[in-house]
Amino acid sequence: MKPNGPRDLDLLHALQRGDDAAINPLIDRWEARLFAFAWRSTHNTADAQDLVAETFARLYQQCSRLRADSNLSAWLYTTLANLCRNRNRWRHRHPTVSMDAVGPEGSPLVATSASETPPIPESVEHKESAAVVAAALDQLPEDLRLTVMLYYFEKLSYREIGQVTGCSERGVETRLYRARRQLRENLITHASLEN
């Protein structure tokens, strides 16, 4: 479904010509989708908001470097995916301690990755199922996880995913096959541990 109003490329060209206000409709059009992608990648609302803002800041700063026929959605997702990957690596190397943790005389301090929970779903079962799937997705290697997120959550085509991930459409198909197989194995393993 194409959004109403000027096309992305028209807005990009206006931005390249110095029309700073052209970034606003791009932000309005892409912010929610990019936030959802960033949240799925980082599991942290503040990080997701920061990374989306950084993506738009980079678009504004680097718009003159983009070709006239650039695929803006691929550029946005590629930039955001790289920012998310870097943030996740940093969080992994610098775990934080929850502010709710108690000192040595109470419950032990627990190192966390500063993640937040998503909005509460309608039912407990749905929440538990979503958590299991999210955990299985998080166990995938980065290239497979990114491909799954772009295909299933962002609804990008194989060609668009290939532009973001730097692989062929056939490579995207292979990654999705491998990801589905590994997700199935992760979910079976989780189910057997529950029983």
User: Three-state secondary structure along the chain?
Assistant: CCCCCCCHHHHHHHHHCCCHHHHHHHHHHHHHHHHHHHHHHHCCHHHHHHHHHHHHHHHHHHHHHCCCCCCHHHHHHHHHHHHHHHHHHHHHHCCEECCCCCCCCCCCCCEECCCCCCCCCCCHHHHHHHHHHHHHHHCCCHHHHHHHHHHHHCCCCHHHHHHHHCCCHHHHHHHHHHHHHHHHHHHHHHHHHHC
pLDDT values of the chain reduced to their tens digit, one per residue, 195 residues? 344 567 999 999 999 999 999 999 999 999 999 999 999 998 889 999 999 999 999 999 999 999 888 889 999 999 999 999 999 888 888 776 544 444 445 444 444 444 444 444 455 555 667 777 888 888 899 999 999 999 998 999 999 999 999 999 999 999 999 999 998 888 888 777 776
pTM (two decimals) = 0.70
Domains, the chain, ranges and CATH?
A: 1-116 (1.10.1740.10), 117-195 (1.10.10.10)
Neighbours of 57 (CB within 10 A): 11
